[in-house]
C-alpha cells in the first residue's frame, strides 16, 4: 500500500454579480468581449475542466479533472451555472459521484454561502452562512457535506466551533495557520491531519488538513512545467514510511482563467501522477476515513490565506493592493463600518417584524436559502405560509418576504470581494453597495428609514479622480430606477416586436392589462410582480415614437386611473426618458429596431429570424447564414446584442443536429470568433474532436 498521498483542492467561486432588483448580471466592461466575468470564466475554466481528459484505469474511462480534485463551488456561482449552463452543472455533480467511485468518498465540499469573512461575522451570522452553505450543498450534491471551505481561509476559534456545531467533520487551512507545540506549523509538518478540540462542546473534534503553502503559491508560475512541478511535489514528502498526505490549494480559476491553458497543465499533472504510480491521488474525506488525526493543534486566530496582515484586507488600509499606484485603501475601514451598521439595524428590524407572524423567525431565516435557490412564486408563498404560526394575510406575506429579502441583501452586501480589490470604484464594492441599497429599500417597506446609514460613507476617498461619495450616491440613485428600466424594456419589446430564442432572467414579471394607441403614442397599463417578495404593483406608461427614438413616461398607478392618466403631462410622471435610459442589450435592441440604416435592418432581420426559428435547427441555420454570408460576418455579429448567447444557442442546436456539414460550419465560425473558447461546450455535448479542441486550447 502506498504511503504517499496527494490532494489538489480547487476553490471555485464568484460573488453575487446579479443586479439585486432585476436579478440579472450587468454588463462588466473589463470582461470584454464577454458581457460579464461569469460567462468569461466559464468558457476559460469551469467548462474546459469538465471535459474528460484523464484516463482512469479503475473505471476504464476518461474522466474530468473535477473527478480527481478536491473542490468546492460557492453557491452564488453554482446556482448561476445551474441557471445558465445546466449540463455543466450536472457534470459537476456527477464528478463528485465519480470521485466517490475512485476514492471511496466524494471530493466536493461545501462553502460558507456568499463568501463572508467568517471571523468578522456575529455568532448568528456565522451559523447562518455555514448552514446556508452546507444545506445548499446537501440539496445539490444529494449527500451531507462533510466539510466546509472557509472564505479566504479566514479563521478564528469561534468559526471552528460554529463549523463543529453545524456538523462538519473537517476543514482545510494553510500550513501557517496552524500552531503546534513547536510554534507556527511548517510545510514539512503539514503531511498529516490534526484535530481541533472543541471547548464549547467537550469531546467533539474537527479534523484540520493544512495545505502546503509554498507549493500552492507556485502553482501559477510552475505548473506549466509538469515534470519540474511533479518533482517538487515528490521531494516535499518525507522519507518516513508512515502515511502522509501532501495537499495544495488555490483558486480554481487558476486553471484556465488566471493562467492561460491552466486546465491543460492541471490535467497533465494529474495524468503524470496517475501513470507514475509513486504517489496516490486522494481527497481529504477519503484520507480521513483511512487515517484519523492523532495530534491536537491550535490555530492562529484572525488569519487568512490572502492577507499577510491577518484580516486587514477586509477592515483597513493594511498595505495589500494589486495596483501599487492605488495607495488609498482607507475606504475599506469605512465600508466595513457601514456594512456592520447595516447588518445590525436590519437584524433588529427583521426580528421585530417577523416575531409577529412567524413561529420561529431565526429558523425561517436559516432556511431562507431555499427561496433564494428556487425563485418560484409558488414555492416562496408555500415557504412563508408554512413558517407562520397562523394563516397569513397577503399583506403579512409580503411584509415577511420583504423582511427576509432585507436580511439576505444585507448579507450579500458584506461579501468579502467588496474589500479585496484596490478601490471603492471597482465592480465588487459597488455591487456590495447596490445590495445594501436594496436592503434599505426593503426596510423602508417595513416602515423604517435606514437611508441615513449611507452618511457613514461620506469620508470615502477613491484612487480614481472624481469618484467620491456624490458619485456613489448618483450610481445608487440610478439603480433604484431598475424596475422602470425593466418595464421600459418589456414595453419596447412588445411595441417593436423583437424577442430572443433563449431564456433571459428577470426579477420582475410583467403583464399588459390594456394597450391603447393615439397617433404616435401608445398607452399601457401594466401589472408587475416581484418574484422574491410577491409584491404586486400596477404602472401606467406611455411611449411616444419620435425620429427614431422612444420617449417613455411611467408612474405607479391603479387601473382605474388609466383614462385620466392619458391626459397627464410628463411632469406628472415618476420617470420620463428616451432609450438612453435603457441599459446594455435592451438599449441596443431598441436602437436596432428603430433604425432605418441598412446595417441595422440586417441586424433586425437576423434577430427576428432567430426568434421565429426558436429551437428548430433548420430554421435557425438559415438565420445563422444571414451572419455567415455577410461581407464582414464577425463585425456584424459583434454589433448584435446578446452575440454570445446567439452563438451559444447555435452551438447547442448544432451539437444535437445530424447535419454534419451545417454543424461543422457553425463550429468553424465559432472557432474564428472572439468566443472561440466556447467550443468546450460543443466537445462536452458531442464528445467529438477532443484532440482538435485540446490543440485549440493550447493556442
Q: What is the pLDDT of residue 1?
A: 62
Average pLDDT of the chain to the nearest whole number: 94
Peptide bond between residue 395 and the one before it cis (omega within 30 degrees of 0): no
Domain boundary among 253, 272, 306: 306
Tally the domains of the chain: 4
Domain co-membership, 206 together with 72? yes
Please say if the pLDDT value at position 500 is more than 90: no
Give pLDDT, residue 623. Answer: 95
In this structure, the answer to whether residues 433 and 518 fall within a common structural domain is: no
Contacts of 395 (CB under 8 A, 6+ apart): none
DSSP 239: S
Task: Report if residue 55 sits inside a domain.
Answer: yes
638 with 686, same domain: the answer is yes
The CATH number of the domain holding residue 218 is: 3.20.110.20
Query: 645: Cβ–Cβ under 8 A, 6 or more apart, which residues?
Result: 500, 502
Range 675-689 average pLDDT: 84
End of a domain among 524, 555, 582? 582
Regarding whether 95 and 221 lie in a shared domain, the answer is yes
Please report which confidence band the pLDDT of residue 687 belongs to, taking 50, 70 and 90 as the band edges: confident
Q: With 60 as the cut, is the pLDDT of residue 528 above it? A: yes
Shared domain for 342 and 438, answered yes or no, is: yes
pLDDT tens-digit map of 247-260: 999 999 999 999 99
Q: Which of 379-383, 518-522, 578-582, 688-692 has the lowest mean pLDDT?
A: 688-692
Q: How confident is the model at residue 691 (pLDDT cuts 50, 70, 90)?
A: very low
What integer is the mean pLDDT of 424-451?
Answer: 97
pLDDT of residue 692: 35
Cell of 307: 492577507
Query: What's the grid cell of residue 560?
Result: 382605474
Q: 618-659: per-residue pLDDT in tens?
A: 999 999 999 999 999 999 999 999 999 999 999 999 988 889
Q: Is residue 534 part of a domain?
A: yes
Tell me: the pLDDT tens digits for 539-551? Answer: 999 999 998 899 9
Calculate mean pLDDT across residues 80-96.
Answer: 96
**What pLDDT does 56 receive?**
85
Residue 67 DSSP class: G
User: What mean pLDDT is predicted for residues 146-161?
Assistant: 98
Residue 203 and residue 128 share a domain:
yes
Assess contact for 490 and 510: CB atoms under 8 A. yes
User: Do 114 and 195 sit in the same domain of this protein?
Assistant: yes
User: What would the grid cell of residue 546 be?
Assistant: 419620435
Task: Give 6's strand partners.
Answer: 246, 281
Band of residue 505 on the pLDDT scale cut at 50, 70, 90: confident
Q: Could you read off the pLDDT of 286-319 as tens digits, one per residue?
A: 999 999 999 999 999 999 999 999 999 999 999 9
Residue 463 domain flag: yes
The answer to whether position 438 is within a domain reads yes
Mean pLDDT within 377-398: 94
The Cα 637–Cα 628 span in angstroms is 9
pLDDT tens by residue, 14-43: 999 999 999 998 889 999 999 999 999 999
Q: Which residue in 579, 336, 342 sits closest to 448, CA to CA?
A: 342
- Can you give the pLDDT at residue 55? 87
Q: Of residues 282 and 375, which shows the higher confidence score?
A: 282
Q: How far is CA 364 from CA 126, 347, 350, in A?
A: 16, 13, 11
Q: What is the pLDDT of residue 656?
A: 87
What confidence category does residue 58 fall into, taking pLDDT thresholds of 50, 70 and 90?
confident
Same domain membership, residue 148 and residue 59: yes
**Rounded Cα–Cα distance for residues 485 and 98 (Å):** 45
Residue 165 has pLDDT above 60, yes or no: yes
Give, in order, the Cα–Cα distances in Å from 349 to each of 373, 443, 530, 699: 24, 8, 21, 55
Q: Which residue has the cell 503559491?
A: 217
SS3 content of the chain, % helix, strand, coil (to 5): 50, 15, 30
Whether 135 and 9 share a structural domain: yes
Among 556, 582, 608, identify where a domain stops: 582
Considering the domain boundaries, does residue 324 fall inside one? no
Q: Give the pLDDT confidence score for residue 90 in this predicted structure.
A: 96
Which helix (H) or strand (E) covers residue 551, if one does?
strand 549-556
In this structure, are 371 and 240 located in the same domain? Answer: no
pLDDT score of 694: 43
Query: Cell digits for 344?
Result: 445590525
> Residue 26: what pLDDT?
85
119, 156, 117: which is closest to 419 by C-alpha? 117
589 in any annotated domain? no
**In sequence order, which ranges of 319-468 are alpha helices (DSSP H)?**
331-354, 361-366, 369-374, 377-387, 394-413, 417-420, 427-445
Q: Residue 350: which domain range?
A: 332-477
In total, the chain counts a number of residues equal to 699
- Do 511 and 452 lie in one domain? The reply is no
Q: What is the pLDDT of residue 688?
A: 66
DSSP 121-137: S-HHHHHHHHHHHHHHH
- Within a domain: 472: yes
Q: How much of the chain exceeds pLDDT 70, in percent?
A: 98
Instruction: Answer whether residue 587 is part of any domain.
Output: no
Encode pLDDT of 416-434 as tens digits.
Answer: 999 999 999 999 999 999 9
The count of other CB atoms within 10 Å of the CB of residue 196 is 25
- Together in a domain, 559 and 657: no
Amino acid at each position: 500500500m502506498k504511503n504517499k498521498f496527494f490532494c489538489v483542492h480547487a476553490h471555485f467561486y464568484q460573488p453575487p454579480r446579479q443586479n439585486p432588483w432585476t436579478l440579472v448580471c450587468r454588463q462588466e466592461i473589463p470582461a470584454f468581449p464577454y458581457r460579464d466575468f461569469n460567462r468569461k470564466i466559464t468558457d476559460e475554466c469551469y467548462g474546459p475542466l469538465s471535459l474528460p481528459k484523464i484516463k482512469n484505469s479503475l473505471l476504464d474511462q476518461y474522466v474530468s479533472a473535477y473527478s480527481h480534485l478536491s473542490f468546492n463551488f460557492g453557491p452564488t456561482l453554482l446556482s448561476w451555472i445551474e441557471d445558465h449552463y445546466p449540463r455543466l452543472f450536472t457534470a459537476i455533480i456527477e464528478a463528485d459521484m465519480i470521485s466517490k467511485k475512485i476514492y471511496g468518498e466524494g471530493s466536493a465540499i461545501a462553502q460558507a454561502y456568499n463568501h463572508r469573512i467568517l471571523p468578522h461575522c456575529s455568532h448568528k451570522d456565522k451559523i447562518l452562512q455555514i448552514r446556508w452553505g452546507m444545506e445548499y450543498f446537501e440539496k445539490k450534491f444529494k449527500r451531507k457535506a462533510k466539510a466546509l471551505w472557509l472564505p479566504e481561509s479566514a479563521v478564528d476559534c469561534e468559526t471552528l466551533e460554529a463549523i463543529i456545531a453545524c456538523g462538519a467533520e473537517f476543514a482545510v487551512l494553510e500550513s501557517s495557520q496552524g500552531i503546534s507545540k513547536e510554534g507556527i506549523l511548517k510545510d514539512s509538518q503539514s503531511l498529516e491531519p490534526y484535530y481541533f478540540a472543541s471547548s464549547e462542546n467537550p469531546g467533539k473534534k474537527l479534523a484540520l488538513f493544512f495545505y502546503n503553502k509554498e507549493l500552492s503559491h507556485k502553482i501559477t508560475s510552475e505548473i506549466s512545467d509538469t515534470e519540474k512541478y511533479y518533482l517538487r511535489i515528490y521531494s516535499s514528502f518525507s522519507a518516513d514510511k508512515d502515511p502522509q498526505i501532501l495537499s495544495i490549494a488555490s483558486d480554481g480559476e487558476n486553471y484556465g482563467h488566471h493562467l492561460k491553458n491552466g486546465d491543460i497543465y492541471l490535467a497533465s499533472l494529474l495524468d503524470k501522477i496517475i501513470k507514475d504510480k509513486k504517489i496516490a491521488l486522494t481527497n481529504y474525506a477519503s484520507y480521513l476515513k483511512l487515517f484519523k488525526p492523532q495530534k491536537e493543534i491550535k490555530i492562529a486566530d484572525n488569519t487568512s490565506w490572502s492577507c499577510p496582515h491577518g484580516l486587514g484586507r477586509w477592515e483597513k488600509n493594511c498595505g495589500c493592493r494589486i495596483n501599487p499606484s492605488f495607495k488609498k485603501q482607507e475606504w475599506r475601514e469605512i465600508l466595513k463600518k457601514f456594512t456592520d451598521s447595516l447588518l445590525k439595524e436590519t437584524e433588529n428590524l427583521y426580528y421585530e417584524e417577523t416575531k409577529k407572524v412567524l413561529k420561529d423567525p431565526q429558523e425561517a431565516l436559516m432556511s431562507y436559502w431555499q427561496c433564494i435557490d428556487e425563485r418560484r412564486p409558488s414555492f416562496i408563498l408555500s415557504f412563508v405560509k408554512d413558517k407562520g404560526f397562523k394563516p397569513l394575510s397577503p399583506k403579512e406575506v409580503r411584509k415577511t418576504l420583504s423582511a427576509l429579502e432585507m436580511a439576505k441583501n444585507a448579507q450579500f452586501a458584506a461579501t468579502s470581494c467588496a474589500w479585496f480589490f484596490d478601490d471603492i470604484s471597482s465592480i465588487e464594492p459597488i455591487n456590495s453597495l447596490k445590495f445594501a441599497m436594496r436592503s434599505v429599500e426593503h426596510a423602508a417597506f417595513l416602515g423604517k428609514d435606514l437611508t441615513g446609514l449611507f452618511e457613514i460613507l461620506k469620508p470615502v476617498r477613491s484612487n480614481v479622480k472624481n469618484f467620491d461619495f456624490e458619485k456613489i450616491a448618483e450610481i445608487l440613485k440610478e439603480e433604484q430606477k431598475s424596475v422602470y428600466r425593466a418595464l421600459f424594456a418589456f414595453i419596447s419589446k412588445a411595441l417593436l416586436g423583437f424577442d430572443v430564442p433563449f431564456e433571459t432572467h428577470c426579477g420582475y414579471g410583467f403583464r399588459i392589462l390594456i394597450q391603447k394607441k393615439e397617433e404616435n403614442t401608445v398607452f399601457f397599463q401594466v401589472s408587475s410582480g416581484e418574484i422574491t417578495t410577491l409584491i404586486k404593483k400596477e404602472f401606467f406608461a406611455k411611449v411616444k415614437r419620435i425620429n427614431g427614438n422612444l420617449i417613455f413616461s411611467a408612474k405607479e398607478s391603479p387601473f382605474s386611473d388609466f383614462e385620466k392618466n392619458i391626459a397627464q403631462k410628463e411632469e406628472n410622471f415618476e420617470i420620463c426618458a428616451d432609450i438612453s435610459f435603457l441599459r446594455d442589450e435592451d438599449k441596443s435592441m431598441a436602437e436596432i429596431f428603430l433604425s432605418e440604416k441598412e446595417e441595422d435592418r440586417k441586424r433586425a432581420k437576423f434577430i427576428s429570424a432567430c426568434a421565429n426559428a426558436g429551437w428548430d435547427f433548420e430554421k435557425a441555420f438559415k438565420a445563422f447564414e444571414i451572419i455567415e454570408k455577410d461581407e464582414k460576418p464577425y463585425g456584424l455579429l459583434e454589433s448584435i446584442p446578446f452575440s454570445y448567447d446567439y452563438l451559444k444557442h447555435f452551438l447547442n442546436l448544432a451539437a444535437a443536429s445530424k447535419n454534419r456539414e451545417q454543424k461543422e460550419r457553425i463550429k468553424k465560425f465559432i472557432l474564428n470568433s472572439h468566443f472561440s473558447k466556447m467550443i468546450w461546450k460543443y466537445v462536452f455535448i458531442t464528445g467529438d474532436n477532443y484532440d482538435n479542441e485540446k490543440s485549440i486550447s493550447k493556442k
